[in-house]
Amino acid sequence: MDSSKTQLDLVLKGSGYDIEKEIKAFDESKAGVKGLVDSGIVKIPPFFVVPENVVSSEPTPAHLQIPVIDLKDAHGDPARHEKVIQEIRSALEIWGFFQVVNHGVSKDIMEGMVEGVRGFHEGKNEVKKEYYTRDVKKKVTYTSNTLIHKTKAADWKDTLYFRMAPDSPHPEELPVVCRETTIKYTAYIRGLGDTLLKLVSEALGLNPDHLIESGCDKGLKIMCHYYPPCPEPNRTLGSKSHTDPDFLTILMQDHIGGLQVFHQNQWIDVPPIPGAFVINGGDLLQLISNGKFKSAEHRVLANHIGPRISVASFFAIYDRICGPIKELLSDENPAVYKEVPLMEYIAQYMWKEQDGGVTTLDRFRL
Ligand code: OGA
Ligand code: NI
């Protein structure tokens, strides 16, 4: 247990509040944050409270906008292809984030997925409870705050999780309200993932198939987040600041907003664009690109309005050792990271509080 939590514990204990007991009751309710909101609370429980000043952010300056990349004809016209690769390269170098439009996934598929996720989270508690677990071996789970006993402050969100690859769950394991939509959505996300990994390979100056041949598309996890409206959005976060532990993330967010990226020492809004996906490079891309492509810190604000729904698809596989891609290294560009057993990386990532300070990847610097 870290020292700040111990201190908070003592203060709260002194006031007659037992945080561990509250967390246990919350967890045993298996109803998540939505359950708290449905019960009519007007103040958030102390285990969600972040230190003062964490939440505040300046308005996003007009000149700092996440790039929006149009994928139309990215594979037809050679000039367009070159332009898209150049845009992706610059977005991943400078921001680690960009949005894509004209990516080939229809609005019906995207909206169907959001509605399926809503159907689950707003569905019967008896059904949701069956999925509520912290068993990391399960391919389909519903939880609020996976690391609740470890974090300094819990996130104001609930998550339905699917591990879709390398071996997908049996369709019957998926909740019936979102079964068909999730299977369809997954097929499109795998296709878009491959398209993007090819473009990212080229953006690194490699053969288009390089990242796919290295297995970057082998594993796919999908997290379907539900951020209920929050009575005190200035005292907690929807998702605390973190980097993603993967190669690439494809995020679909609804119209509510709240996602922010840490860039040039400030929090920048990632505005919802209807029909767009938000793409970001994760720690593993930063590792294999030898630091060329950024894995940027990001977070989600809580909000009075809502719920907010988002679906994050993570491409990652941890059954191998990865280091900077040999073709990218030279005397002028020597390796800055070690060869990393990804199992070791992910174990460290899971057990570390990701809010500020040294990131997990920094521990593997040479
Ligand atoms: C994540 C994430 C952002 C969002 O799941 O890693 O950053 O908008 N999600 O929910
Ligand atoms: Ni993330």
Looking at the CA of residue 278, tell me the nearest atom of ligand 1: 8
CA of 238 from ligand 1 middle (Å) equals 9
pLDDT value, residue 2: 45
In contact, 226 and 34? CB cutoff 8 Å:
yes
Distance of CA 50 to the CA centre of its chain: 20
Q: How is 290-353 classified by DSSP, letter by letter?
A: TTSS----EEEE--SS--EEEEEEEE---SSEE-S-GGG--SSS---B--EEHHHHHHHHHTS-
With a 6 A CB cut-off, is 223 part of the ligand 1 pocket?
yes
Q: Does residue 310 have its Cβ closer than 6 Å to ligand 1?
A: yes
Burial of 112 (0-12, 13-18, 19+ CB in 10 A): middle
Instruction: Report the percent of the chain where pLDDT is more than 70.
Output: 93
Percent of the chain surpassing pLDDT 90: 84
pLDDT digits (tens, 9 = 90+) for 53-88: 899 888 999 999 999 999 999 988 999 999 999 999
The finding on whether 300 has its CB within 6 A of some atom of ligand 1 is yes
Q: Does the pLDDT value for residue 8 go beyond 70? A: no
Mean pLDDT calculated for residue range 150-176: 94
Contact call for residues 249 and 314 (beta carbons, < 8 A): yes
> Residue 188 has which token pair?
């499109």
pLDDT value for 145: 84
- What is the enclosing helix (H) or strand (E) of 116? helix 107-121
**How much distance in Å is there from the Cα of 314 to the middle of ligand 2?**
9
| CA–CA distance, 65 with 95 (Å, rounded to integer) | 10
- Spatial distance between the Cα atoms of 84 and 116, rounded to a whole number of angstroms: 32
Q: Cβ(87) to ligand 1 under 6 A?
A: no
Q: Which residue has the CA at smallest separation from atom 1 of ligand 1?
A: 312
pLDDT tens digits, one per residue of 82-114: 999 999 999 999 999 999 999 999 999 999 999
In angstroms, the Cα distances linking 205 to 144, 202, 289, 316 are 41, 5, 11, 21
- Residue 98 CA to ligand 2 center (angstroms) comes to 13
pLDDT band at 18 (very low <50, low <70, confident <90, very high): confident
- pLDDT bucket at 7, cuts 50 / 70 / 90: low
- For ligand 1, atom 9, the nearest C-alpha belongs to 312
Is the Cβ atom of 253 under 6 angstroms away from ligand 1? yes
Whether pLDDT at 272 is above 80: yes
pTM reported for the whole predicted model: 0.94
Mean pLDDT of the chain: 93
Angle of helix 179-203 relative to helix 107-121, nearest 10 degrees, comes to: 130
The confidence score (pLDDT) of residue 134 equals 87
Residue 354, pLDDT score: 53
Residue 79 alpha carbon to ligand 2 centre in Å: 32
Cis bond upstream, residue 324 (ω within 30): no
Query: Where is pLDDT greater, at 251 or 147?
Result: 251
| Dist. CA 356 → ligand 2 center (Å) | 14
State residue 12's pLDDT score: 58
For tokens 């610059």, name the residue: 90
**pLDDT for the residue numbered 3:** 45
CA of 109 to the centre of ligand 1 (A): 19
Instruction: Give tens-digit pLDDT for 180-235.
Output: 999 999 999 999 999 999 999 999 999 999 999 999 999 999 999 999 999 999 99
Q: In the prediction, which pLDDT does 13 show?
A: 58
Q: Whose CA is nearest to atom 4 of ligand 1?
A: 310
Q: What is the dihedral of CA 185, 317, 99, 115, to 10 degrees?
A: 30
Q: Please say if the pLDDT value at position 11 is more than 70.
A: no
DSSP state of 18: -
